[in-house]
Amino acid sequence: MKSVKEISTETKILDRLKNHPICLDLVKYLFADEELQEMQEYANNVSIRRLGYNDHGPVHMRQVVGNAIKMLNILHEFNIKTSLEQEEIGSFEDSMCAVILAGLMHDLGMSIGRQGHENMSALLAQPIIDRALMHILPNDLHRRVIIKSVATEAIIGHMSTRKIHSIEAGIILIADGCDMTKGRARIPMAINTTPRVGDIHKYSANAINRIGIHRGERKPIKIDIEMSGDVGFFQIEEVLLTKIDVSPAKQYVELYAGVAGQERKCYL
């Protein structure tokens, strides 16, 4: 059974896609896919209970999709084209479908382990991507091929260890980095109390109160982060900023962060 947080995030995603009927059909299909749900939940079990990491399950993957959709829509409002649009080989909706697929499947490989999980995610995602695209575009092989390719690039590129080239993959990279609020660290903080290597990720994530993604003032996308303590700067500088720095979408992002009640630090 889906959690309240999953359902709430799904509702927001559906609302953001109301003007994109094909994308809307895609997310409805994926949200109802029982195998994908089971894979996301098991990946989370391995991540939290076996490995001691933060949430890498259905809530996180939905949150990444929500972040990516919001950022793509902002770029669209500024008439900034995605890579598929720039290359005149696909539409904005094709790009949106690619980030939806990538966002909902980028961490499936955590069901196997942390090391190289992005490659395992791409492998596990392929049959689901194939059947989802056949559902929404049964008579358009061209669009199925390009959407699948971009989605796969975004999945294998989300750890910033592999060079990526498309705006779409770059958006997923940043959207993933933006999901680091205290809610993501809540369960690992509760069940893993023995000190261990890597705890800084839990404690730093637990210091992030809020992350806002808005239309920017100097650049199209503004990411604004509020923290409860300075330890949150680790999460920003070692995780989010690292991902933004190698993202093809970096030029469109401004980044601010600071402790509540204090002046924000401008990173980008």
**How far apart are the two ends of the chain, measured CA to CA in Å?**
41
The answer to whether residues 171 and 199 belong to one domain is no
The answer to whether residues 207 and 247 belong to one domain is yes
Distance from C-alpha of 250 to C-alpha of 186, rounded to nearest angstrom: 30
Q: What residue numbers bound the domain in which 156 lies?
A: 4-177
Backbone angles phi, psi at 165, to 5 degrees: -130, -20
State the amino acid at position 37 in one-letter form.
Q
Q: Could you tell me the maximum CA-CA distance found in the chain, to the nearest angstrom?
A: 55
Structure tokens at 200: 């800084």
Boundary residue ending a domain (130, 155, 177): 177
Burial category of 158 from C-beta neighbours within 10 Å (exposed 0-12, middle 13-18, buried 19 and up): buried
Boundary residue ending a domain (151, 177, 203): 177
Place of tokens 């109390």: 193
The answer to whether residues 144 and 20 belong to one domain is yes
Structure tokens at 2: 């889906």
The answer to whether residues 171 and 196 belong to one domain is no
The answer to whether residues 170 and 203 belong to one domain is no
The answer to whether residues 109 and 131 belong to one domain is yes
Q: Is the pTM of this model over 0.85?
A: yes
Q: Specify the pLDDT at position 186.
A: 47
The answer to whether residues 150 and 34 belong to one domain is yes
* Strand-strand pairing, 265-266 and 253-259: antiparallel
Distance from C-alpha of 158 to C-alpha of 178, rounded to nearest angstrom: 12
Instruction: Please give the sequence-ordered ranges of beta strands (E in DSSP) within 32-188, or none if there are none.
Output: none
Q: Specify the pLDDT at position 48.
A: 87
Which residues of the chain are modeled with pLDDT < 70?
182-202
The answer to whether residues 115 and 37 belong to one domain is yes
Distance from C-alpha of 13 to C-alpha of 186, rounded to nearest angstrom: 23
Q: Specify the pLDDT at position 225.
A: 97
Please give the torsion angle defined by the CA atoms of residues 96, 215, 246 and 118, in that order, rounded to the nearest 10 degrees.
-40
The answer to whether residues 34 and 165 belong to one domain is yes
* Residue 225: strand, helix, or coil: strand
Structure tokens at 233: 């700067």
The answer to whether residues 155 and 128 belong to one domain is yes
Contacts 24+ apart (CB under 8 A), 123-129: 124/39, 125/101, 125/151, 125/152, 125/155, 126/152, 128/30, 128/33, 128/35, 128/36, 129/101, 129/105
Distance from C-alpha of 181 to C-alpha of 164, rounded to nearest angstrom: 26
Overall number of domains in the chain: 2
